[in-house]
């Protein structure tokens, strides 16, 4: 496989929740800057309609990423006004959950208990989505997720905002400069975080733990992503007459690629 198993700070259970959330808040800003909600709402609208589904269960939601915006866009689509979004995470953050419940929108909720994406038995039925979180799963766990979706005959959409195409040696050579760029980006992106907290400001500008960890995790994410050929390896033996898999670049409305997707769908 091209993918390698580097560590990310976010994956450590001891990692402070406020720093983890500071980092996922920044990913949400990046989503908005890149227009990822547009790509996902376009993909999801078709899947929801074809499968006659009205619930999205997002796994590894972090601070929500672009999913709340995606839901808003789906609600503007004919026939999808009743779609609900349930967000989940292995490390759910109480403040994020409170933020969403305070909005009083009955169509959007965040599960309070930890949900491991590798154990879908805990999760209600619906279209499963993993947005920028599939690379956190080592191959055995990743395959388990795909197998469960297929065995349960449930649709699943996996999206990553980049593609693991860069030669690994080049990635290592560029690492010092890429880390420096990401640290700088955090300083500029932080004011755009929704519901910015004192802790996030403190751990960004005075004690720069968030920029350093965000820069490392952001860079480590790339070689951890499953390349297109790696997905073929994961999917070996998971093809059947009743369930289909498709993958490729995800497209913006103007036809430009933005990230990659893997979609598993029941054929009926």
Stretch that binds ligand SAM, among 49-57, 71-79, 87-95, 99-107 (CB under 6 A): 87-95
Specify the stretch interacting with ligand SAM by CB under 6 A; choose among 53-61, 70-78, 164-172, 208-216.
53-61
First CA to last CA distance, the chain = 32
Shorter beta-carbon distance to ligand SAM: residue 24 or 200: 24
Site string for ligand SAM, 91-130 (x = CB under 6 A): x------------------------xxx------------
- Rounded-to-integer distance, Cα 181 and Cα 253, Å: 28
In the complex, the smallest distance separating the C-beta of residue 52 from ligand SAM, rounded to whole angstroms, is 25
- In the sheet that 257-266 helps form, which strands lie side by side, from edge to edge? 108-110, 84-87, 55-59, 127-131, 156-160, 257-266, 243-251
Decide if residue 143 touches ligand SAM (CB under 6 A).
no
129 in Cβ contact with 55 (< 8 Å): no
Q: Closest approach of Cβ 129 to ligand SAM, in Å?
A: 8
- Judged by phi (left if over 0) then psi (alpha if -120 to 50, else beta), residue 35 lies in left
- Of 107, 116, 59, the closest CA to residue 80 belongs to 107
Is 89 a binding residue for ligand SAM by CB under 6 A? The answer is yes
Q: Which residues bind ligand SAM (CB under 6 A)?
A: 10, 24, 27-28, 59-62, 65, 89-91, 116-118, 131-133, 136
């Amino acid at each position: 496989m091209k993918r390698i198993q580097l560590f990310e700070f976010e994956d450590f259970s001891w990692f402070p929740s406020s720093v983890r959330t500071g980092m996922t808040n920044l990913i949400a800003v990046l989503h908005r800057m890149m227009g990822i909600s547009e790509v996902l709402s376009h993909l999801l609208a078709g899947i929801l309609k074809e499968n006659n589904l009205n619930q999205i269960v997002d796994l590894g939601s972090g601070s929500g990423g672009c999913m709340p915006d995606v839901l808003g866009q789906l609600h503007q689509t004919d026939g999808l006004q009743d779609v609900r979004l349930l967000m989940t995470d292995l490390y759910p953050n109480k403040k994020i959950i409170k933020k969403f419940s305070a909005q009083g929108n009955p169509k959007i909720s965040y599960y309070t208990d930890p949900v491991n994406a590798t154990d879908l038995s805990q999760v209600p039925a619906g279209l499963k989505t993993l947005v920028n979180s599939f690379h956190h799963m080592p191959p055995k766990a990743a395959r388990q997720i795909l197998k469960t979706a297929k065995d349960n005959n449930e649709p699943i959409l996996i999206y990553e905002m980049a593609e693991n195409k860069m030669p690994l040696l080049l990635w290592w050579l560029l690492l010092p400069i890429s880390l420096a760029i990401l640290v700088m980006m955090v300083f500029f992106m932080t004011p755009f975080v929704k519901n910015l907290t004192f802790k996030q400001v403190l751990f960004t500008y005075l004690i720069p733990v968030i920029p350093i960890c965000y820069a490392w995790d952001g860079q480590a994410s790339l070689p951890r992503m499953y390349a297109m050929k790696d997905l073929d390896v994961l999917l070996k033996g998971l093809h059947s007459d009743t369930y289909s898999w498709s993958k490729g670049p995800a497209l913006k409305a103007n036809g430009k690629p933005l990230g990659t997707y893997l979609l598993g769908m029941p054929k009926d």
